[in-house]
Amino acid sequence: MQLTRNVALLLAAGRGQRMESHVPDKILAPLAGRTVFQWSAEAFLRSRLFQRVVLVCRDEGQRAELSRLWDACEPDPGTELALCLGGRERQDSVFLGLVEAGQDCDYVFIHDCARPLVRPATLESLYQLVLADKAAALAHPVTDTLQRAENQAGRHRDCRVEPVSREGLWAMETPQAFAYPMIFDAYQKARQEGRAATDDVSLAAADGHRVSLLPSPDPNPKITTPGDLALAELLARARVAGVPAS
Given a cut of 70, is residue 1 above it in pLDDT? no
Full-model pTM: 0.94
Whether residue 8 contacts residue 52, with contact meaning beta carbons closer than 8 Å, is answered with yes
Given a cut of 70, is residue 16 above it in pLDDT? no
> Bridge-partner residues for 178, per DSSP?
108, 135
* Domains contained in the chain, CATH given: 6-136+172-240 (3.90.550.10)
pLDDT per position as a tens digit, 184-213: 999 999 999 999 999 999 999 999 999 999
State what percent of residues in the chain have pLDDT above 70: 95
